[in-house]
């Protein structure tokens, strides 16, 4: 299950984060920048208060990409369970020099590299990070609050497809994965689809601005959304299938979320002439969900069509697919992995093969994939 990383300023906020249900206590000074570090003394005091109840991570600071500087700051925080090291904008050679300098301590200190979605992220560095012995890799944003908040968080800078590629590659390399960057409640179900090891929050957990104190109610709400797998409606779904035999659909208890006629260019087809080029494919998806409560006005509580378009785009960006059948099944499986969705129809049409659109339409229920 995807865990909640909560960035706190010290022992007092660590207690609030723990009471609210955070899984990882992450030390950070928001006044000092995206990865503003707390002092080793505050780190020690927080580790004392947390007392092993949860892992404690610490950021090394907003640092220049100079090996000696980074190495020194990381070593000063070796008491933490994880130390997060930012890969700030710099040349590839400079970033690589920092990564290889850290290899000497990667056996004794669990290192997590932080890419910045708005800071020239270079995911080809995932291989060198794994080779250097890093424990994990995550994405965050440098811009926080104010004007940059208006510019949006993580999803304003990287597509779901790019994030899916990051999580997949990092996981294949054996790295723990995390995503963060001015995340808000509605982002949670969209990112849970990617199954990162954790999502990181600060701004969404405070009473107001990012520098304000942590608010336990807000931590609890975000923890609840993560713990529910982004599926707060599950308990209200009276007709959720539990056995292999399909239950009859109670039409009155269902609502419908749809995406119609989304046309994207993608690599698809089993013929030689279809390889190495993109062609237009039209997607239409109709998802049956538990009836939405008449009081629901919070996007975080409602299954969103964003989840459908995200799933389509992630599959399209994942690379060549031979068959529309495979594509339709993968899409149906992804959409039904959200427990709020009871049944889905997926239509995939290739638009450039002849005078007519050709393709497939399938209808599946949760029990078809998940028993
Ligand atoms: O590591 C996670 C960050 O502290 C996230 O902070 P933010 O949600 O304010 O961008």
pLDDT higher than threshold 50 for residue 233? no
Domains of the chain: 3-226 (3.20.20.70), 251-368 (3.30.1130.10)
Percent of the chain with pLDDT strictly greater than 90? 71
Question: Which of 22, 202, 209, 219 is the best mutation target for the ligand 1 pocket, counting ligand atoms within 8 Å of the beta carbon and taking the most?
Answer: 202
Region 110-115: mean pLDDT is 98
Residue nearest to atom 2 of ligand 1 (CA): 200
- How open is the CA angle 285-291-292, to the nearest 5 degrees? 95
Distance in angstroms (rounded) separating the CA atoms of residues 24 and 200: 9
Residue nearest to atom 5 of ligand 1 (CA): 201
Region 182-211: mean pLDDT is 91
Region 338-356: mean pLDDT is 91
Residue whose pair of structure tokens reads 């497939």 in the numeric block: 360
Distance in angstroms (rounded) separating the CA atoms of residues 30 and 212: 9
- Helices and strands (H and E) in the chain: how many: 13, 12
- Could you list the beta-strand ranges (E) of 202-340: 254-266, 279-290
Q: How far is the CA of 263 from the centre of ligand 1 (A)?
A: 34
CA nearest neighbour of 271 among 165, 358, 334 = 358
Ligand 1: nearest atom to the Cα of 84: 1
Ligand 1: nearest atom to the Cα of 203: 9
Q: How far is the CA of 141 from the centre of ligand 1 (A)?
A: 8
What are the tens digits of pLDDT across the range 58-71? 999 999 999 999 99
Per the model's pLDDT, the better-predicted residue between 154 and 273 turns out to be 154
pLDDT band, residue 186 (cuts 50/70/90):
confident
CA nearest neighbour of 202 among 255, 274, 141, 137 = 141
Ligand 1: nearest atom to the Cα of 114: 1
What are the tens digits of pLDDT across the range 34-43? 899 999 999 9
Neighbours of 124 (CB within 10 A): 9
**Residues involved in catalysis:** 28, 84
- Per DSSP bridges, beta strands 111-116 and 176-180 are unpaired
Region 355-359: mean pLDDT is 91
Ligand 1: nearest atom to the Cα of 145: 9
pLDDT higher than threshold 90 for residue 112? yes
Predicted pLDDT of residue 76: 96
Q: How far is the CA of 180 from the centre of ligand 1 (A)?
A: 6
Q: How far is the CA of 278 from the centre of ligand 1 (A)?
A: 37
Distance in angstroms (rounded) separating the CA atoms of residues 212 and 165: 34
Q: What is the CA radius of gyration of the chain?
A: 22
- Could you list the beta-strand ranges (E) of the chain: 3-8, 24-27, 56-59, 82-86, 111-116, 136-140, 176-180, 198-201, 254-266, 279-290, 341-350, 358-365
What are the tens digits of pLDDT across the range 304-345? 899 999 999 989 988 899 999 999 999 999 999 888 899 999
Distance in angstroms (rounded) separating the CA atoms of residues 243 and 306: 29
pLDDT band, residue 298 (cuts 50/70/90):
low
Distance in angstroms (rounded) separating the CA atoms of residues 371 and 364: 12
Ligand 1: nearest atom to the Cα of 59: 1
pLDDT higher than threshold 90 for residue 51? yes
Residue nearest to atom 6 of ligand 1 (CA): 202
Predicted pLDDT of residue 145: 61
pLDDT band, residue 276 (cuts 50/70/90):
confident
pLDDT higher than threshold 70 for residue 363? yes
The CB-side HSE value for 198 (13 A sphere, CA atoms) comes to: 22
The per-residue pLDDT of the chain, averaged, comes to: 89
pLDDT band, residue 190 (cuts 50/70/90):
confident
| CB-count burial class (<10 Å; 0-12, 13-18, 19+) for 344 | buried
| CB-count burial class (<10 Å; 0-12, 13-18, 19+) for 12 | middle
Q: How far is the CA of 214 from the centre of ligand 1 (A)?
A: 12
Q: How far is the CA of 69 from the centre of ligand 1 (A)?
A: 23
Q: Pocket residues for ligand 1 (CB within 6 Å)?
A: 5, 7, 26, 28, 140, 144, 180-183, 200-204, 210
pLDDT higher than threshold 70 for residue 245? no
CA nearest neighbour of 84 among 22, 135, 141 = 135
Question: Which of 3, 13, 22, 28 is the best mutation target for the ligand 1 pocket, counting ligand atoms within 8 Å of the beta carbon and taking the most?
Answer: 28
Least confident of 31-40, 209-218, 226-235, 320-329: 226-235
pLDDT higher than threshold 80 for residue 268? yes
Q: How far is the CA of 318 from the centre of ligand 1 (A)?
A: 27
Question: Which of 180, 182, 211 is the best mutation target for the ligand 1 pocket, counting ligand atoms within 8 Å of the beta carbon and taking the most?
Answer: 180
Main-chain phi, psi angles of 251, to 5 degrees: -55, -35
């Amino acid at each position: 299950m995807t865990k909640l990383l909560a960035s706190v300023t010290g022992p007092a906020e660590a207690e609030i984060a723990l009471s609210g249900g955070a899984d990882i206590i992450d030390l950070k000074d928001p006044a000092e920048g995206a990865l503003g570090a707390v002092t080793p003394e505050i780190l020690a005091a927080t580790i004392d208060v947390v007392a092993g109840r949860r892992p404690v991570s610490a950021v090394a600071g907003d640092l220049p990409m100079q090996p000696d500087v980074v190495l020194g700051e990381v070593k000063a925080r070796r008491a933490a369970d994880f130390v997060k090291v930012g890969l700030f904008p710099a040349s590839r050679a400079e970033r690589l020099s920092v990564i290889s300098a850290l290899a000497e301590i990667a056996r004794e200190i669990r290192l997590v590299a932080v890419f910045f979605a708005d800071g020239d992220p270079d995911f080809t560095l995932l291989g060198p990070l794994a080779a250097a012995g890093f424990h994990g890799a995550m994405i965050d944003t440098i811009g926080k609050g104010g004007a940059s908040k208006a510019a949006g968080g993580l999803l304003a800078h990287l597509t779901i497809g790019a994030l899916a590629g990051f999580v997949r590659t990092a996981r294949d390399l054996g790295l723990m994965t995390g995503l963060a960057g001015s995340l808000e409640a509605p982002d949670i179900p969209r990112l849970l689809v990617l199954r990162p090891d954790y999502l990181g929050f600060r701004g969404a957990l405070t009473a107001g601005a990012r520098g304000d104190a942590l608010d336990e109610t807000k931590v609890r709400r975000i923890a609840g959304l993560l713990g529910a797998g982004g599926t707060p409606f599950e308990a209200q779904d009276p007709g959720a299938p539990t056995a292999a035999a399909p239950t009859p659909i109670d039409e009155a208890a269902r609502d419908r979320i749809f995406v119609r006629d989304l046309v994207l260019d993608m690599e698809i087809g089993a013929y030689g002439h279809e390889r190495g080029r993109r062609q237009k494919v039209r997607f239409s998806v109709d998802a049956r969900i538990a009836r939405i409560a008449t009081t629901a006005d919070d996007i975080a509580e409602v299954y969103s069509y964003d989840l459908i378009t995200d799933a389509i785009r992630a599959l399209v960006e994942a690379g060549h697919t031979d068959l529309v059948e495979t594509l339709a099944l993968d899409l149906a499986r992804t959409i039904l992995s959200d427990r709020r969705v009871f049944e889905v129809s997926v239509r995939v049409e290739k638009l450039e093969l002849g005078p007519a659109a050709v393709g497939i339409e399938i209808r599946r229920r949760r029990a078809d994939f998940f028993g």
